[in-house]
Amino acid sequence: MTIKAPRGTEDVLPGEIEKWQRIEQTARELFLLYNYREIRTPLFEDTRLFERSIGESTDIVEKEMYTFLDKKGRSLTLRPEGTAPVVRAYLEHKLYAKGGVNKFFYIGSFFRYERPQAGRNRQFYQIGVEAIGSDSPALDAEVINLSLHFLSSLGLKTLHIALNSIGCSACQPLYREKLKQFLNEHIDKLCDDCRRRTESNPLRVLDCKKEGCVSILKNAPSTLDFLCPACKEHFESVKHYLKMLGLNYQIAPNLVRGLDYYTRTTFEVVHSGLGAQNAVAAGGRFDGLVEEFGGESTPAVGFAAGVERIALAMDGEGVKVSDGKQTFTFIALLGKEYLEGGLLLLNELRRSGISAEMDYEGRSLKSQFRVADKLGVKFTIILGQEGATLRDMVKGEQEEVKREEVVSILKREK
């Protein structure tokens, strides 16, 4: 029996992982510049956390969660997204007590039972930020700017912002009613899911990707026509700041995102090189979520970017990431009897910060050199009874050196 990785999961192998490391390192460095600090939350949470935040009648909660009972019968769920856990931690540890805006970023894996395709796995990786504690539209602009800064730092060029506002608890219900009316007029042309959601959660219908529904939804009423004066002003300010920062955007009136907790600003960063799954980052405001979890009313905004999709987009744009640092030195032994001397030198080199490798198998000098060539080392040290020979693999020259001087010579060459 051969056991393979489960459907929808992926091994990230050496050769590919360097790209992932670049993505993660860029995120860590850049997010700190914007004063976002890293937070790590558990891979699984109390199932109710996601039911209450993402919404019971969303695709994620209805069909896509990995939910299980533990040995004490508690319902737990592998986290399908990052925002709800961050907000839970924010409340649980009273991080609001510091006052001001609390800014977090996270990097990690998430889980959704979806149909796997390019750029979409069942275990997937996201990098995200959350800024909790302000409703300033300048913060919306900062978060959108940061998502673009991050993606363009990785060499991505063909990026576009799709922008929308879906209103607040005061104006969204009006829109919801209007949308419901519209959907009911076309109810027989909608898919089964959308028919059901027209009643339970009409906004979710706007997420439907089925052709029949998409063509009906083209004529659906727009959230923007129903914004209350405060939401309208907020949205105008977000657009103003984006323009001021030189960021182009397109208004996307049906952009509601697949989670219930969003309010006001929603956005996606789309990369034109990707196919159907073309959003590399997406986010928005979630002004009601902290309160939903029992905290004081606290506005917040954030985004998450998909690492697999970023990696695909980097491939598409021909962004090259080197295979990591090469091994610098190889120790070749003139005979098995020099193994102990080799091990000591190997240890000395590595402890001096010089990457080194040797052959433990007692192979011929010729095959040892083959290994050294394969590793692409700069120097090979040939160890025998009479001290050592240092061979410069690039120049093809070699010289006799004293055993005790090998490390200091290589340190200078490094």
* Binding residues vs Zn ion (CB under 5 A): 167-168, 170-171, 191, 194, 208, 210, 213, 228, 231
Closest approach of Zn ion to the CB of residue 23, in Å:
33
Closest approach of Zn ion to the CB of residue 261, in Å:
15
For residue 11 the two structure tokens come to 């091994």
Of the pair 76, 228, the CB lying nearest Zn ion is at 228
| Residue carrying the six token digits 């275990």 | 123
Closest approach of Zn ion to the CB of residue 64, in Å:
16
Query: Which residues share a beta bridge with 109?
Result: 125
Of the pair 109, 237, the CB lying nearest Zn ion is at 237
Closest approach of Zn ion to the CB of residue 217, in Å:
8
Of the pair 195, 363, the CB lying nearest Zn ion is at 195
Of the pair 171, 274, the CB lying nearest Zn ion is at 171
Of the pair 228, 409, the CB lying nearest Zn ion is at 228
Of the pair 167, 342, the CB lying nearest Zn ion is at 167
Of the pair 213, 410, the CB lying nearest Zn ion is at 213
Closest approach of Zn ion to the CB of residue 248, in Å:
26
Of the pair 211, 340, the CB lying nearest Zn ion is at 211
Closest approach of Zn ion to the CB of residue 170, in Å:
5
Q: How far apart, in whole angstroms, are the C-alpha atoms of residue 124 and residue 119?
A: 9
Closest approach of Zn ion to the CB of residue 163, in Å:
16
Of the pair 207, 308, the CB lying nearest Zn ion is at 207
Closest approach of Zn ion to the CB of residue 75, in Å:
29
Of the pair 156, 208, the CB lying nearest Zn ion is at 208
For residue 276 the two structure tokens come to 């159907």
For residue 320 the two structure tokens come to 């090259």
Q: Are strands 300-306 and 279-285 parallel, antiparallel or unpaired?
A: antiparallel
User: Quick one: three-class SS letters along the chain?
Assistant: CCCCCCCCCCCCCCCCHHHHHHHHHHHHHHHHHCCCEECCCCCEEEHHHHHHHHCCCCHHHHHHCCEEECCCCCEEEECCCCHHHHHHHHHHCCHHHHCCCEEEEEEEEEECCCCCECCECCEEEEEEEEEECCCCHHHHHHHHHHHHHHHHHCCCCCEEEEEEECCCCCCHHHHHHHHHHHHHHCHHHCCHHHHHHHHHCHHHHCCCCCHHHHHHHCCCCCHHHHCCHHHHHHHHHHHHHHHHCCCCEEECCCCCCCCCCCEEEEEEEEECCCCCCCEEEEEEECCCHHHHCCCCCCCEEEEEEEHHHHHHHHHHCCCCCCCCCCCCEEEEECCHHHHHHHHHHHHHHHHCCCCEEECCCCCCHHHHHHHHHHHCCCEEEEECCCCEEEEECCCCEEEEECHHHHHHHHHHHC
Closest approach of Zn ion to the CB of residue 258, in Å:
13
From the list 287, 235, 279, the residue with the least C-alpha distance to 257 is 279
Query: Which residues share a beta bridge with 142?
Result: none
Closest approach of Zn ion to the CB of residue 205, in Å:
6
